[in-house]
Chains A and B, each alone.
Chain A
Amino acid sequence: MAPVYGLFWVLFFAARFLAKRRGKKETVYAVRPPIGRIALVIGMVLTGWSLFSLSDLREPMPRTLIVGLVALALGVAPALAVVVAVPLGLPRMAWALNRIGGGSGGVFELRSSAGLVAARAVLRRPSEHGARFIENYLATCPELGMSGAAATALIASLRGNREQALAIFGLLARMAHAHAFPPALDLSREYLAIDALRRRNWRLLVELGKGPGTFLTDLLGLVARRVLHTGDAPSATRLWHAWVFTPHRRMTWRIVVRAITAPAPAPPAPVAPSLSAYAALLARDPGSVRAEDVEVAVRSLDEIRSFRPWLAVIGQRRLALGIAASVEDIRAETMRAAEQGIAAAILEGGWRAKWIPVGVTGDAVRALVTEERLRLVEGLVAEMARRARERRDLPEPDEWRAWADARRVCDELRADSGSAFGLFEILFQPLTAYAARLTNVRGRRVLAGDIFRYLRDLAREAGAVYAYDLVDRNAKAVQAYRLPREALAEGDPIGSIDRIVKLRDQLVPNVTLFSLVTAGAAIGSVTFAISGAVPMMLGVLLLLWAMVEAVVRARIVECGHSVEGLVLQTHKGRFIAPFEELYGLKAGPGALVRIRLRRTPRWLPRFVITFARSHEDAQSHVARVQSLIRQKLPLALGTSAVVP
């Protein structure tokens, strides 16, 4: 009996250790059993044990071997989803395997990662039915996370909405922080790289190849450098070396051969008092434009500006056509049109404003580009702030798109010049209000976390000491690998967070685990041998854990009331129940507050409970909410900061 009992306590502590590691050094209350990892450990132990017994010519234990292999399969199910179901183009199978294995990634990716795997499978065998299945599944996730956002981008791409896909993948590719979800990051970079290859956007390929990426992005980055003949262009040997390690060699073979035999790009047209360099600039692929091309076009305009024969001919034609405007006016108008043309091309191609040389024309073009980018970013963030202020939320993929568009322009502005302080001044207030609402009200912590981190980096770059403390606190408060355990920052809290945390996230899980393991081990050791005890206890443990999770823990919520309704914070996510959706709200017995709702998302039961500090406290809260519903009095909301 002792070895059996000991084995289960080892597994128990291993499971707890793995669960705790998800939160790193931060305080994590909710303990979620990492089913896949537990199964993997059990499978390895039992399989190894069985094989050892067989090799030692002892009595074979086929039942143990079978159970071990099944547990092993369970543990590697997410990997099977990627290796088997995705290549076969079976979205439901990919989804099921991922879910059986407990998902992959951090706490916010566990559910939505199944959507990403399924979306990859749908791409192999495109079908609208599969796309709808994934969309319906993602709608049940409390939050999309990086993997859910990547899945929606893949579906958008499947439906031909390339712009949406590129925008979201562009944002995901920039979210390279310590807790990013690597599969989503790699997928984004590969998608962008392949799209850039199709459009011959060599400059983007060079950028993608610089950062940490996949074999494919590395290879394509080298190819782009070779095609552009940059100073650090790789040799043919280096290219073939990278090609060997890159998957899909048959497809990349031709790309590498073409890159090696590609001629050096033509030098830019010489600077001359004509607009031929301007025309050449516009005729090029936006992705292959170099800084020299922009420089020559701008300097050519400068040459024209001071070219006296040109002014003389304008004067002749003006007289011939009977135009009253002065030569100077006509010249200025023509030059202005050309400057606007270059500025528009720079904006369209996303080129750097610092490529523009200093000069009369260059300064004018740079001013136009910077002004337009500032106007664009002001408009985008003002729209986001307006929606936050008026509480007009969009579906989550559209929120991702809104931030992706704003961030793209912000990055262009940051790369242009050292105007980080000006940019921070524009972004700080509206983006903080927007992201605070995303976190406090809607529980979109991955997206809000990226916004706060961006603001923190910008504040550091701009030297905005007066705001750094706030943005740093916000960024830490929404770190995406932590569970949503902060106190509610919106409205008045009803529940006592200390009591709820102790009950829901400490007492219930610990008592459940302890009693299940002890009972299982005791029964198993008395009744069966190890081969019978292990599968029985594993099955019972998982079954009862799921029941406790669904019946008990999911119903214990933190609760607050704001102008929008009841804010319900579960251990999975946050939901705002409008007052008209409230079916019943009662206090008692004791400090208990019972809440019945008409409609809820799939992950939230319709009957939930919370705990106030006392019975009187519970009664007063209930009375206050009921009077609010009757009077419909709005409450003041604070949306300037996230309170950790």
Chain B
Amino acid sequence: VKVLTLIEAVTDALRTEMASDRSVIVFGEDVGLEGGVFRATAGLQKDFGEERCFDTPLSESGIVGAAVGMAVAGLRPVVEIQFSGFAFPAFNQIASHVARIRNRTRGAMCVPLVIRMPYGGGIRAPEHHSESLEALFGHIPGLKVVIPSTPHDAKGLLIAAMRDPDPVIYLEPARAYRAVRQEVPEEAYTVEIGTARVEAEGEELTLVSYGAQMMEARQARAALAAEGRSVELIDLRTIYPFDGRTVVDSVRKTGRLLAVHEGPQSFGVAAELMSTVMEQAFDRLEAPPARLAGPDAIYPMPRGERHYLLTVEHVLAEARKVLSYEP
């Protein structure tokens, strides 16, 4: 056991799998010599050689498209897109090939590829560096999409993604990279993709979030606990295929749902969770399912970030509303 930050856990997962599986190769822009702009791949080139961890030209579609070929041919590439906002040039490869080759070939071929990318705001970055694209990726059939919020899940989900026979979009909450520390086992372990995690049990409200937004959700739960309110906190962890059962089971117990995420509200993950709860726990609801999400707005540049991001006060206010709702 060692104490790691979330980004150190990402590096640890890569290192662990590279050591045990020679088919794992890591590449992208500045990931080799430099170890990535956030240092997620720090030291890997030194330890595993330039053949297994290398820098590519500035070529997002090229990185993903070449990785498709490598994966079909039997390797397990893990590629980095420097920021999720730079993923758009690779969208054709992701949506047209990464997600479709198993189906297109009726299972004769698969694409065991992991596409890692930092996502989300709050890091005072220039334009295009703060996007939350999980709903976009989640809407592409054939992809799995995961987002860790803790170092333990970061390592376990990434190892699970690398061992998965199908492509996984692995979104890393940049704002939480160094904000969370946790004990993480030294050895390899997996966190099953498709499972949410009940982080803290409670009786009166189900609060669901994921990624960096979990930090505000935790603070809100603690503040409400101090007021004597009992909130169950769930980290969704997988965007697709999402674990509706865990959320529904929780809401059947609490009768109230609040889903919170940083990305745009319309057609977002919270909307899907609310629909699922309406379908499967309607008879137990004591308040309308609620959501708190980013606006349907373009993510502002740093001087305006605060107009977009959700604070603990936002979460608290909405949670109190749901808790106090009476028909």
Binding between chains A and B = no
Give the B-binding residues of A (Cβ under 8 A).
none
